[in-house]
Amino acid sequence: MLIFISMISVQGSASIAKHLFPVLGPEAMTAWRLFFSAIMLIFIFKPWRKSMTKQALKYIFLYGISIGCMNLAFYNAIARVPLGVAVAIELTGPIMVAMCSSRKLLDFIWLIVAIVGLSMLLPLYQVSDNLDPIGLLFALLAGSGWACYILFGRKASTLYGASSVAVGSVIATCFLFPISILQSGSTMFSLELLPLVFVVSLLASAIPYGLDMIALPRLPAQTFSTLMSLSPVFAALSGLVVLHEQLTTNQWLAIIFIIISSIGTVLTMSRSVKIKLVEPNPENK
């Protein structure tokens, strides 16, 4: 139940963020969200208590850039395509990471299922259900960012522990703030909007992160990953309720294919996986 509430919180934050795009734009929204998230995570993990090696700094820097790119691409994606579609496409990033270590035939069957779902959303031969091609490209970039986030985050957490997410968020904020200022100018400093941005940050990071910390010790890694595979459903429902985004039958079917691929990949993992607690996906994002 806590994981379900966590996913609802994350996807609800994305819906609220999308409401602010006409004023702030995806760039400023991403920068402010990461700024507030970084402050919360710094107070939670207190990274100044730990010394950092040069090798750890290298991977934390790459991890931070991955966080920034993933969030920026995701917000640019949901500004152009329905939330459920963007989250489903983004989910292919972790699927591909899992597939890279796969050796069993069944794992490649799940890969084919994911490709079928993806092909139903992408305009490979013609415009797919009138989805914005630029938005779909941003969703793919968000998935690639999520893959890098997993790879670099795993290495960073091994070298520096959970505090990596706090330092990585600071790096992502420093990377994105100049871009957002160039894009939005003085609008992003509107005092009327900042409370709403803080609420988005709370729903996207602090609340789900706290819920995950309570739930993870009580759940097997496979159960947690399987539940997280349902994120596109919660995203689509959030988009429907909050944003009134209607998905076509073809889009729902494509999302189901990608979810099946994700769950299948998790359930047929050849080795047990320990969960590394890092900042949830933007959507975690």
pLDDT of residue 157 exceeding 90: no
pLDDT of residue 271 exceeding 70: no
pLDDT grade for 267, boundaries at 50, 70 and 90? confident
Q: What is the mean pLDDT of residues 198-206?
A: 86
- Taking the C-alpha atoms of residue 134 and residue 56, their distance in angstroms, rounded to an integer, is 35
Contact of 283 with 11, CB cutoff 8 Å: yes
User: How many alpha carbons fall within 13 Å on the CB side of residue 172?
Assistant: 35
Q: What is the mean pLDDT of residues 121-137?
A: 74
- What Cα–Cα distance (Å) separates residue 199 from each residue in 10, 143, 230? 11, 25, 24
Total Cβ atoms within 10 A of residue 192: 7
Q: How far does Cα 267 stand from its chain's mean position?
A: 21
Residue count (the chain): 285
Q: What pLDDT does 148 receive? A: 92
What amino acid is encoded at 182 in this protein?
L
- Taking the C-alpha atoms of residue 54 and residue 135, their distance in angstroms, rounded to an integer, is 37
pLDDT of residue 14 exceeding 50: yes
Q: What pLDDT does 280 receive? A: 47
pLDDT digits (tens, 9 = 90+) for 17-56: 998 898 889 999 999 989 998 998 898 888 888 888 999 9
Contact of 197 with 24, CB cutoff 8 Å: yes
Q: What pLDDT does 65 receive? A: 95
Total Cβ atoms within 10 A of residue 175: 18
- What Cα–Cα distance (Å) separates residue 155 from each residue in 46, 59, 111, 159, 162? 20, 7, 25, 6, 11
Helices (H) and strands (E) in the chain, counts: 12, 0
Residue 47 has what DSSP assignment?
A: G
The residue ranges of every structural domain in the chain are: 2-267
pLDDT of residue 176 exceeding 80: yes
Token pair, residue 25, equals 């734009």
Q: What pLDDT does 141 receive? A: 96
Is the CA virtual torsion 109, 114, 117, 118 positive or negative? negative
pLDDT grade for 283, boundaries at 50, 70 and 90? low
pLDDT of residue 171 exceeding 90: yes
